[in-house]
Structure 1
Amino acid sequence: MQIKKTIDKIPGGMMLIPLLLGAVVHTFWAGSGEYFGSFTKGLMTGTIPILAVWFFCMGASIDVRATGTVLRKSGTLVLTKIAVAWVVAMIAMQFLPIGGVQSGFFAGLSVLALIAAMDMTNGGLYASVMQQYGTKEEAGAFVLMSLESGPLVTMLILGSTGLAVFEPHTFVGAVLPFLVGFLLGNLDHDLRSYFGKATQTLIPFFGFALGSSINLGVIIQTGMLGILLGVIVIIITGIPLMLADRWIGGGNGTAGLAASSAAGAAVANPMIVATMKPEFMPAAQSATALVAAAVIVTAILVPILTAYWSNYMKSKGKVVEQVQSDEDIQGSEMKLKHVKGH
């Protein structure tokens, strides 16, 4: 049976399929974890420890060495994405309650859902798309995108907008596993290779654990809104990203559009934030479902739109000239080996 190949055909499938399986179990047998107990219960309720290990391994997989051009391009895209999410949060907090909208078509929509959907890019999707439609330097821009992984950026945005107050040690605790992994991975390349391989392996496990806290009724209720959120993410983040790519990054907008997706790892952020700040718990479950839908929508539409835009720019003769040294090319190719999906 070719189970993995089938799952890989689904955008974000290795994260979303286990998540849906966990949601099915929770919806129709909410007490299954307590019934089985032991390791089964730990697997179904262990979102935080599983994510902590994944975050450590993600940090270990990142190579601090990068060319100036790659850093400029990746830094431009990352900072623009975060800035857009911050602006959206500042505007949305004026209209949306902290617990999210409770009724109507927009039921479940919250500032938490908007930030989680917009502040992270699907690095694997970006890298694979830009390998086909961009330069090696642009494809290598995923390097800094990995720094968006986990709840840290979401927490920073919530804190800076005044929606939540996080103690300094809470921020340290959120990023410490990543920093330790990053340090070890760059001190020893063998450790980077060893731990880096686990980033993909852990994805279905925290997907299942996360799904085990979701009732499918919430996903059904937020389905259409989730699709709309995915489209909004592409429009609201895509336009500034394309402009930044052209004006600052020196590209033709293709890389910016390719970075307008929602990251699969962002699905976990609402629940992680809610465990640290209980006032977000009423919005966390709906936000998780909305972000999951947005991940699927952006994973489908972004490659299509990027291909169209790339071909359009080529027809206009506005192709980014690829000028790199052999060392730059080799460095970018080595970095691309460390990411399959975000």
Structure 2
Amino acid sequence: MIMKFINKIPAGMMVIPLLLGSLINTFFPQITGIGSYTTAIFTNAGAAAVMGAQLFCLGTTLQLRDMPKVLKRGGILLVSKFIIGAAIGIAVGKIFGMNGVFGMTSLAIISAVTNSNGSVYLALMSTYGDESDQASMALLSLNDGPLFTLVALGASGLAQFDPITLLAAVGPILVGMILGNLDKGLADFLAPAGSILIPFVGFTLGSGIDVTNLVKGGPQGIVLGLITVFVGGSFIVFCDRVIGRRPGYAGWAVATTAGNAVAVPAAVALADPSYAPFVSEATVQVAASTVLTAILVPFITGWWAKKYGCPKIPLEGKAEEAKA
């Protein structure tokens, strides 16, 4: 009964735990904050560990010959998301100045639109994509932080990018890939764990979300989230379909705002103090965008995947032909 309900919801195996985790975190955090294994597995404290395990298991299924495909797919998503976020933010800054328009500054726009939520992307690709789609998350981790925001704001000379950060992000995939290429039996054993961990990723992700941020961010935060999903997402999907020759589901999956993006305005202000007066307002708006996009994107991605196809779900027309 529970599984039937979950399967009716787009990406339900991630969305339902995510919503449940966010509600508990917002209204009853003491339930999962009692310590020990409960806190480790049912709060945001366990998000990195669960995702790391999922990436490791995914890595065992990747063959070395798949890497060019991974770099192409991930590169298109990464670059297109950066381009649209930077273009909108810079345009607002050039036309309206640092104060922005309707209470939304270029700092808030670029922070929200250029940063993607890797947890949501990975969970959705585990549901709809293939191994190459999932492995692209390692490349997309580059936009999870202040680096691209600083570049877009013209402060790239101040951004100190540590290569060890990238190595740490791709480490689980690399180790898994090495072991999987050495022993196919190991890959066959670990591959199913990637899907099994999806609800745990969803719950830990939700446990880092405070739904009241939608209210705190005000209408500007909601508009920022809608821009991230529909304006940013449409451009990314266009690039995914035209350049990548892909159905576009991965483009929607990356049309989110990362949880780490909430800290980006403050990080930018440290590099360029002229943005300091706008940090507080930008932070709550980005937080609102994080919540809204995490809720909207799974539904949009699921609808798109069913309508236009994906590796794990046949096109509606073809499915009907197969039944006939």
Q: Shorter-chain TM-score category?
A: 0.5 to 0.7
Aligned residue in 2 for 1:190: 185
2:106 aligned with 1:152? no
Distance 2:266 2:40 in 1: 22
The size of the alignment, in residue pairs, is 276
Residue 301 (structure 1) shift:
4.2
Q: 1:226 to 1:158 in 2, by over 3 A?
A: closer
Where do 5+ consecutive residues of structure 2 fail to align? 94-99, 269-278, 310-314, 316-324
Distance 2:207 2:51 in 1: 14
Aligned residue in 1 for 2:241: 242
Q: 1:20 to 1:104 in 2, by over 3 A?
A: farther
Residue correspondence of structure 1 range 25-104 to structure 2 within 5 A: 25-34=24-33, 36-43=34-41, 44=43, 45-65=45-65, 76-94=72-90, 95=92
Q: 1:237 to 1:186 in 2, by over 3 A?
A: same
**Equivalent position to 2:301, from 284, 299, 307:** 299
Structure 1 stretches of 4+ moved >6 Å = 273-278
Aligned residue in 1 for 2:258: 270
Q: 1:303 to 1:203 in 2, by over 3 A?
A: closer
Residue correspondence of structure 1 range 102-121 to structure 2 within 5 A: 110-117=109-116
Q: TM-score, normalised by structure 2?
A: 0.67
Aligned residue in 2 for 1:260: 251
**1:155-182, Cα deviation, whole Å (9 max, x unpaired):** 4745765385331212211211121111
Residue correspondence of structure 1 range 270-289 to structure 2 within 5 A: 270-271=258-259, 279=267, 282=283, 285-289=287-291
Residue 229 (structure 1) shift:
3.6
Distance 1:78 1:174 in 2: 14
Q: Normalized per residue, which structure has more helix?
A: 2
Distance 1:171 1:159 in 2: 17
2:214–2:287: 8 Å Cα contact kept in structure 1?
Answer: no
Aligned residue in 1 for 2:208: 213
Letter in 2 for 1:306: Y
Distance 1:143 1:158 in 2: 29
**1:275-309, Cα deviation, whole Å (9 max, x unpaired):** 899738946643431331342342244246637xx
Letter in 2 for 1:243: V
Distance 1:87 1:105 in 2: 19
2:52–2:172: 8 Å Cα contact kept in structure 1?
Answer: yes
Secondary structure at 1:207's aligned position in 2?
helix
Residue 11 (structure 1) shift:
1.3
Secondary structure at 2:169's aligned position in 1?
helix
Aligned residue in 2 for 1:14: 13
Secondary structure at 1:206's aligned position in 2?
helix
Q: 1:191 to 1:277 in 2, by over 3 A?
A: farther
Identity %: 24
Aligned residue in 2 for 1:338: none
Letter in 1 for 2:82: W
**What value does the CA root-mean-square deviation take over the aligned residues?**
4.1
Secondary structure at 1:210's aligned position in 2?
helix
